Amino acid sequence: MEIIILPTPAEVGQLAARKVAQTISTKPAAVIGLATGSSPLEIYAALAAQVQGGFLDTRQVRGFALDEYVGLPREHPQSYASVIHREVVEPMRLDPAQVQLPDGRAADLEAACEAYEAALRDAGGVDIQILGIGGNGHIGFNEPTSSLRSRTRLKTLAPQTRADNARFFDDPEQVPTHCVTQGLGTIMDAYEILLVAQGSGKGAAVAAAVEGPVTAMCPGSILQFHPHATVIIDEAAAAQLVLADYYRYTYANKPAWQRF
Ligand code: F6R
């Protein structure tokens, strides 16, 4: 893993956006793995600014979301279909037909999960997967004790996740109890991983994922097995890293030939 610590959340968003833009510039029909939640918002805003300024062409870009709530109508403002449309598709001028999410409303959820896996395979896999991390170490909605080889499936949201996401709803009781999420095995199939985290609330999860043992108790720790994972975090999220000085030194002395 490459760990990059930057002073502010805004710098995290800018650098992460640079990485995604690089992928799109190299491959105009790139498949981008899309996370929802607060963590990637600055990435999407920075990419949208590049698109709207005429510096980045996203017309051929394809997108696959990580997860979707079960039980929310598609048109609910907090369904991930709505969030992805509002925060990603429209500002980044993506073709809506090229952006897919797991179907949280399917009558046969198991078949819908299999169809999502097949769609990911048919697309040729995810070129770069954007990830946030939950306070409990989840990535996607793979809550602690998720199988490290799991595929897209139904999951029960952890109480902590429901409490964390209550900020998006008028009433905490409205937060769905279940979701459909790409599995850890699905996420690990991406060619490249880009995890961002900001704020002290993510400090323990980041430290466990990056420096702890690989364990289903911290699903993000599976990324230690990924051959090309970059973790970009602000100082607050880095506060519990034992080797923070080493990561700062490594980034400051990164040879020019080393790919970013
Ligand atoms: C979102 C997702 C989650 C979030 C995580 C962090 O699609 O899969 O893993 O990335 O819950 O959420 P925020 O960024 O809101 O702190």
User: Among the atoms of ligand 1, which is closest to the Cα of residue 201?
Assistant: 16
Q: Of 69, 141, 146, 152, which is best to mutate to test ligand 1, by the most ligand atoms within 8 angstroms of its C-beta?
A: 141
The answer, yes or no, to whether any atom of ligand 1 lies below 6 A from the CB of 63, is no
The protein residue with its alpha carbon nearest to ligand 1, atom 4, reads 132
Q: Which residues are catalytic?
A: 67, 136, 138, 143
Question: What is the token pair recorded at 137?
Answer: 């170490």
d(CA 207, CA 224): 12
Q: Of 72, 133, 139, 168, which is best to mutate to test ligand 1, by the most ligand atoms within 8 angstroms of its C-beta?
A: 133
The answer, yes or no, to whether any atom of ligand 1 lies below 6 A from the CB of 183, is no
The answer, yes or no, to whether any atom of ligand 1 lies below 6 A from the CB of 66, is yes
Check if the beta carbon of residue 254 is closer than 8 Å to that of residue 4: no
User: Among the atoms of ligand 1, which is closest to the Cα of residue 138?
Assistant: 9
What is the whole-number distance in angstroms between the Cα of residue 240 and the centre of ligand 1? 20
In tens digits, the chain (260 residues) has pLDDT values of 999 999 999 999 999 999 999 999 999 999 999 999 999 999 999 999 999 999 999 999 999 999 999 999 999 999 999 999 999 999 999 999 999 999 999 999 999 999 999 999 999 999 999 999 999 999 999 999 999 999 999 999 999 999 999 999 999 999 999 999 999 999 999 999 999 999 999 999 999 999 999 999 999 999 999 999 999 999 999 999 999 999 999 999 999 888 77
What pLDDT score was predicted for residue 260?
74
The protein residue with its alpha carbon nearest to ligand 1, atom 10, reads 132
CA angle at 126 for the pair 238 and 216, rounded to the nearest 5°: 50
DSSP result, 216-250 = TTBGGGGGGG-TTEEEEEETTTTTT-TTHHHHHHH
Phi, psi of 66 (to 5 degrees): -75, -40
- Cα 23 to chain center, whole Å? 16
The protein residue with its alpha carbon nearest to ligand 1, atom 2, reads 140
What pLDDT score was predicted for residue 130?
99
- Taking the model in full, what pTM does it have? 0.98
The answer, yes or no, to whether any atom of ligand 1 lies below 6 A from the CB of 39, is yes
Nearest one of 246, 134, 146, 138 to 197, comparing CA atoms: 134
The answer, yes or no, to whether any atom of ligand 1 lies below 6 A from the CB of 36, is yes
